Chain A
Amino acid sequence: NAGVTQTPKFRVLKTGQSMTLLCAQDMNHEYMYWYRQDPGMGLRLIHYSVGEGTTAKGEVPDGYNVSRLKKQNFLLGLESAAPSQTSVYFCASLLRNDYSNTGELFFGEGSRLTVL
């Protein structure tokens, strides 16, 4: 049971290049999230998905696109990378999507992206 796996873990891009981050979970979770974390800013939600084929914008969606073609995968794309997108990106999946008090997010190990 791998949990949540992110690839790649490190990447250096030049301004204007494109790339895709892959998040894969094997826990059959409905909800998946992409966050970015910057010093002093905490985790900020980029996009999220409440199920296969659905996506929604979070707090900081500009410059990113996502897709959830399969339940287990949530892809984050940068079409034209900018230095402001230098960050650590975390993917997470949620155990439940009901209204119970259980809300443990399972995170990937993070992807460190540098845009020059």
Chain B
Amino acid sequence: RKEVEQDPGPFNVPEGATVAFNCTYSNSASQSFFWYRQDCRKEPKLLMSVYSSGNEDGRFTAQLNRASQYISLLIRDSKLSDSATYLCVVISISSGSARQLTFGSGTQLTVLP
């Protein structure tokens, strides 16, 4: 089983739609969680951190469920510019106290006009 799993999609949604992605992780000791966005042939960039209490940034809402070991990303009122691959990232502490970042394989979103 992969440490971090995402539904690869693709998700094809019309403009204005609401879309949600989930990401599950296997290491119960994982500490920090993030969503990154990656445009085609570009480097990933931080979209938002994910906090236990949930957090919102404009049209984007991120949630963490430690009991079920998953994080989610909700995008409301989808825009064409939201088309990208969304990567979840989980940080855990490996041996020697090093921070280990594990990426999901990404969920591809295409917003259609």
Measured CB to CB, the residues of A under 8 A from B are 31, 33, 35, 40-45, 48, 50, 56, 90, 94, 97, 99, 101-105, 107-110
Give the A-B contact count at a CB cut-off of 8 A. 61
**10 A-B residue pairings within 8 Å (CB atoms):** A40-B105, A43-B44, A48-B100, A50-B98, A56-B98, A90-B43, A94-B101, A105-B101, A109-B43, A110-B41
Give the distance to chain A from B76, nearest Cβ to Cβ, in Å: 24
| A interface, over-half SS | strand
Interface residue B34 (Cβ < 8 Å from any Cβ of A): yes
Our pick among A42, A48, A108 for the contact of B43 (Cβ within 8 Å) is A108
Interface residue B99 (Cβ < 8 Å from any Cβ of A): yes
Give the distance to chain B from A59, nearest Cβ to Cβ, in Å: 8
In the bound complex, how far is the Cα of B43 from the Cα of A14, in angstroms? 26
In the bound complex, how far is the Cα of B95 from the Cα of A56, in angstroms? 11
Our pick among B36, B49, B101, B106 for the contact of A33 (Cβ within 8 Å) is B101
Interface residue B45 (Cβ < 8 Å from any Cβ of A): yes
